[in-house]
Amino acid sequence: MEPQLFVAIVVTGCFYALLGLAYFLIFRSTTNLNFAIGGYAMFAALAAAYLSAERGLQLAFVIPIAAAATVLLALLGEIVVGRRKAVGELGAVMAIVAYLFVIQQVAGILFGRAARQGPGVFPGASIQLLGVIVPADTVLEIAVTGVFFFVVWVWLIRGRYGRMLRAVGDNASAARRLGVPVERVRILAVGLAGVSAAVGGLFVGPLAGLTSEAGLAYSLYGFTAAVLGGFGSAWGPLIGGMALSILQVEAVRYLGSPYLDYVTLLVVLLILKLRPTGMLA
């Protein structure tokens, strides 16, 4: 494999993994598949690009503002849309997809319809590694993704609320009877999912221009990563994201660009048919 392709796989895989982790956290706490997650990542990326380019804010302000706005968006989605259990599972999925389109429209109005590129932490800086040019932002993305997954994993295993989250995900009624503050745990998980999507969006923003309509594709990629890795372990989305990225990049490399989406959809179909619990069930 060409070394540059390896870099491309890791960069894209980290993004998919962070989106997949957001799916994981919300699913484990609410049993909902939140298809608006791609919209959260898109919103973070465009908010950062807008605040930086149009408002001239420094990165130290841009990142927390964009991340906070994204977390609020995620919480709003959970409060307004995600809890509509009365409408059944299909109704909840339709409501959250509708919420995704609302986010895309709102982002278009707030940040414009033209493609925007987010600000990098180290714009233009790169390092030479084994003859390959690796942007410094890529190194940062890999480090932050690794640390983020490790922290979430430790939190789920050892943290008080992390263990409660697993209990809520396994059986919310039983957890409630045992005194677990189910709603608080869910809000915390959804907020953390918002952070994960925001981090992904903030890293993907500088890679290429993106528009408010990117949310749908991001949701699909994140969902695929989560399903591929499975909802059994916090490491699942990381493995799923990397696997999806490898499949996509190799499909484009050896079959051609159109096969990126074909392979993604084929993977979703195969995994749902053959191993619906994912690789790390």
Partner 1 sequence: MSRIRLLTPSRFGIFGMGTVALAGLLMTACGGGSPSQASPSGAPLVVGVVEARSGASTFYSTETVQAVELAVVQVNKSGGILNRQVTLIHADDQSDPNLSVLAAQRLVDQGAKAILFTSGSASTLQARIVCTQQRIPCIAPTNVNAKIIAPPNNDYVFLVANAGDATVVALVGAIHAAGYKRLAFYTDASATATGTAGAYEQAFKKADPNISIVDKEFVPVAASDATAALIRIRDAKPDVVVMPGSADASIEALYHTTASRLGMQLPVFSTTSLQQPQIWKLAGKTLDGTVYTDNLSTKNSETQKVEKLFHNKYGADAPFIGFHANAWDAVFLLKHAFEAAGTTGDGTAVRNALEKTTGFTSSWGQPGYKLNYSHDRHTGASIEGAMKGIVMRVFKDGKPGPEWSVYQPS
Q: Which is nearer to partner 1, 212 or 233 (CB)?
A: 212
The yes or no reply on residue 102 touching partner 1 (CB under 8 A) is no
The yes or no reply on residue 207 touching partner 1 (CB under 8 A) is yes
Tokens of 52: 């930086």
In the complex, the smallest distance separating the C-beta of residue 11 from partner 1, rounded to whole angstroms, is 6
* Binding residue (CB under 8 A) for partner 1 from 58, 105, 171, 277: 105
- CA dihedral angle for residue 109, residue 213, residue 83, residue 228, rounded to 10 degrees: -160
3-state SS assignment for residue 205: coil
Q: Count residues near partner 1 (CB under 8 A).
A: 38
Site for partner 1 in 260-279 (CB under 8 A): 260-261
In the complex, the smallest distance separating the C-beta of residue 53 from partner 1, rounded to whole angstroms, is 8
Long-range (24+ apart) CB contacts under 8 A made by 63-68 are: 63/202, 66/198, 66/201, 66/202, 67/194, 67/195, 67/198, 67/199, 67/202
The yes or no reply on residue 108 touching partner 1 (CB under 8 A) is yes
The yes or no reply on residue 113 touching partner 1 (CB under 8 A) is yes
* Binding residue (CB under 8 A) for partner 1 from 98, 133, 154, 269: 133
Distances, alpha carbon 40 to alpha carbons 100, 199, 204, 222, 273, in Å: 8, 10, 12, 11, 28
The yes or no reply on residue 100 touching partner 1 (CB under 8 A) is no
In the complex, the smallest distance separating the C-beta of residue 28 from partner 1, rounded to whole angstroms, is 27
Q: Which residue has the tokens 């619906």?
A: 276
**DSSP-assigned states of every residue in 95-158:** HHHHHHHHHHHHHHHHH-SS-B-PPPSSTT-EEEETTEEEEHHHHHHHHHHHHHHHHHHHHHHH
The yes or no reply on residue 51 touching partner 1 (CB under 8 A) is no
In the complex, the smallest distance separating the C-beta of residue 88 from partner 1, rounded to whole angstroms, is 30
Interacting residues toward partner 1 by CB under 8 A:
2, 4-5, 7-8, 11-12, 15, 105, 108, 113-117, 126, 133, 135, 204, 207-211, 213-214, 216-218, 249-250, 252-253, 256-258, 260-261
